[in-house]
């Protein structure tokens, strides 16, 4: 039995009296020193609706661990808000926060000898950050999702506000109408309610086997979410008793399960970035081409926002993602033998799950899906020799050829869109926003929402070495590698160049002669200087390509 593999080194024996003395000062009893220590990492903070309730959930988890025979030890890590910082320089810190969260969980647990870990996350980068930290530590671990926010009474949400801003700039909306939508659309707690990045990653983690069944779809404020937290104590003790670690759960097959579920749900492009990084952390060989291979046989089945009509709370009311997983298991698309944090396999967890009711219209029939294959397309070509990630549902078509309109920052691109200088047939190119060049790989929800709000979603293309919010939809390609700051071809695109985005043959092509490309590259100089110090400078120096998950170790 390995229940106290780490904590006993910290507190057992006369030589550890000083350590025990400090812990007694923190409220530990003599009996506690005989129990396994479980670190409970909370991302709770009042900076965003996504996380404003998570400290309360963490307290429920702590009591659950204590009542199950362990000693729960609550600590905090950070969160930031993509939604609040979107379109500003502050967004450069968003992806960086994933690494800070992973580093901080690893640091606290590694320093203080916790035998197991339970992490609770809400906003987008919390989830992969928690999983990366737990993967590095490789101690019995469970992730708990903070849950979804409810849509407004008028069926609006945060992304609605972004798109209404585009309508306002076009002149189709009065400012008073915009302010009305602003006031009603986000009433927390909980993460953004569509199949945006938070719900995408929560679903991926449940499919991966690292959260309890049902965790990914529950409303933030609900009895189900309270029960999710109450059940975590016994579950982590079971993992400790049986020495089941993330490396037993996070296998190549389980990552493939997660990819299948993300595609079936119509999930965010950020899933590609984060799953690659999580796989790297646990030592699994996952790459961009795995998404293509799996995407060829996996249909998009969920009519969920941003490109669909429904919210996660509606799916939860119909059973969450478990019936979908059962269908995918029955069709042979997911591996039922993968172990999960319940100590059971995926197949065992799904054994008694009922199918969706026939009158629900959120998850389409497997044989009549929204799209026959993946909406997440990995594109290659002279513009993306190491790959790029497109989110193309087919609603705007599957191929687009247009004339480049080039901008060296998101702000310049947004200004052009809102001033109505972007016209049908244009392809907006926003560069120097990659992991290194940004630095930080900002999300481009403001410009893409402005395009949608102006009614140009099927008339304008958009490419970037940055990335997209899960709320983005339209004809968009991100994660272009090599990025501009590394001398990728996107760095020498000029206004008026013809670009082809082809999601049928998965190509991204700059239609300029090789001679002209060589001449431009010979003259290219990076126009931006990286920061000299601070967290952004550290990130820029250590971060790897987006095609590798923008990892930093």
What is the tens place of the pLDDT at every residue in 77-89?
999 999 999 999 9
Residue entry with tokens 């699994």: 284
* pLDDT for 228: 98
Chain mean pLDDT for the chain: 96
Average pLDDT over every residue of 333-344: 98
Q: pTM score, two decimals?
A: 0.97
Ranges 15-29, 165-179, 485-499: which has the least confidence: 165-179
pLDDT digits (tens, 9 = 90+) for 243-266: 999 999 999 999 999 999 999 999
- Tell me: pLDDT of 1 over 60: no
- Tell me: pLDDT of 105 over 80: yes
Cβ of 541: how many Cβ atoms within 10 Å? 12
DSSP 8-state secondary structure symbol assigned to residue 193: S
- Tell me: pLDDT of 162 over 70: yes
User: Which structure tokens are listed for 426?
Assistant: 């244009």
- Tell me: pLDDT of 397 over 90: no
Euclidean distance between CA atoms 218 and 162, whole angstroms? 25
Average pLDDT over every residue of 428-452: 94
User: Which structure tokens are listed for 73?
Assistant: 């030890």
Band of residue 350 on the pLDDT scale cut at 50, 70, 90: very high
* pLDDT for 2: 61
Band of residue 238 on the pLDDT scale cut at 50, 70, 90: very high
Residue entry with tokens 């490109």: 307
Band of residue 108 on the pLDDT scale cut at 50, 70, 90: very high
- Tell me: pLDDT of 468 over 70: yes
What length is written for the chain? 553
Q: Which of 169, 215, 469, 547 is catalytic?
A: 469
| Cβ(217)–Cβ(320) below 8 Å | yes
- Tell me: pLDDT of 76 over 90: yes
* pLDDT for 331: 97
* pLDDT for 165: 86
Which domains does the chain show, CATH number per domain?
7-150+188-350 (3.40.50.2300), 151-187 (no CATH), 376-548 (3.50.30.80)
Indicate if 469 belongs to the active site: yes
Average pLDDT over every residue of 384-408: 93
Average pLDDT over every residue of 299-324: 96
| Cβ(239)–Cβ(142) below 8 Å | yes
Band of residue 534 on the pLDDT scale cut at 50, 70, 90: very high
Average pLDDT over every residue of 197-203: 97
Q: Which helix (H) or strand (E) holds 389?
A: strand 384-391
């Amino acid at each position: 039995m390995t229940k106290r593999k780490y904590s006993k080194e910290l507190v057992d024996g006369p030589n550890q009296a000083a350590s025990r003395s400090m812990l007694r000062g923190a409220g530990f009893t003599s009996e506690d020193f005989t129990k396994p220590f479980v670190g409970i990492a909370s991302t709770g903070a009042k900076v965003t609706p996504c996380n404003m309730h998570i400290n309360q959930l963490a307290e429920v988890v702590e009591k659950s661990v204590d009542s199950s025979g362990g000693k729960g030890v609550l600590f905090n890590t950070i969160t930031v808000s993509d939604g609040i910082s979107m379109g500003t320089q502050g967004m450069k810190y968003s992806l960086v926060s994933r690494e800070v969260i992973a580093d901080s969980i690893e640091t606290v647990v590694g320093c203080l000898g916790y035998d197991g870990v339970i992490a609770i996350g809400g906003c987008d980068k919390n989830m992969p950050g928690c999983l990366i930290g737990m993967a590095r530590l490789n101690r019995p671990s469970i992730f708990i999702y903070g849950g979804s926010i409810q849509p407004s009474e008028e069926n609006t949400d945060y992304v609605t506000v972004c798109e209404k801003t585009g309508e306002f700039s076009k002149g189709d909306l009065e400012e008073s109408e915009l302010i009305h939508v602003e006031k009603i659309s986000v009433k927390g707690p909980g993460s953004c309610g569509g199949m945006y990045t938070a719900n995408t990653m929560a679903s991926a983690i449940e499919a991966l086997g690292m959260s309890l069944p049902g965790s990914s779809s529950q409303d933030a404020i609900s009895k189900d979410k309270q029960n999710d937290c109450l059940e975590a104590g016994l579950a982590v003790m079971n993992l400790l008793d049986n020495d089941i670690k993330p490396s037993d759960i996070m296998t190549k097959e389980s990552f493939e399960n997660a990819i299948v579920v993300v595609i079936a749900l119509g999930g965010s492009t950020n899933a590609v970035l984060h799953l690659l990084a999580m796989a790297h952390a646990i030592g699994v060989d996952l790459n961009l081409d795995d998404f293509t291979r799996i995407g060829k046989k996996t249909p998009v089945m969920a009519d969920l926002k941003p490109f669909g009509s429904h919210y996660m709370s509606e799916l939860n009311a119909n059973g969450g993602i478990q019936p979908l997983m059962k269908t995918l298991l029955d069709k042979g698309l997911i591996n039922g033998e993968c172990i999960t944090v319940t100590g059971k396999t995926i197949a065992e967890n799904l054994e008694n799950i009922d199918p969706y009711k026939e009158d629900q219209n959120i998850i389409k029939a497997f044989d009549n899906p929204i799209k026959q294959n993946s909406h997440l397309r990995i594109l290659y070509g002279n513009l993306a020799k190491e790959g790029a990630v497109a989110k193309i549902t087919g609603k705007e078509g599957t191929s687009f050829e247009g004339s480049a309109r080039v901008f060296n920052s998101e702000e310049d691109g947004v200004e052009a869109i809102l001033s109505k200088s972007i016209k049908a047939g244009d392809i907006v190119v926003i560069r120097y926003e990659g992991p290194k060049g940004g630095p930080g790989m900002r999300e481009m929800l403001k410009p893409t929402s402005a395009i949608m709000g102006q009614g140009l979603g099927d008339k304008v293309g958009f490419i970037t070495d940055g990335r997209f919010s899960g709320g983005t939809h339209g004809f968009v390609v991100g994660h272009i590698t090599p990025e501009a700051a590394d001398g990728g071809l996107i760095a020498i695109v000029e206004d008026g160049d013809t670009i082809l985005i082809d999601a049928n043959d998965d190509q991204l092509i700059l239609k300029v002669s090789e001679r002209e490309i060589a001449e431009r590259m010979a003259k290219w100089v990076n126009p931006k200087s990286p920061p000299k110090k601070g967290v952004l400078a550290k990130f820029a120096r250590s971060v790897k390509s987006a095609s590798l998950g923008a990892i930093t170790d």
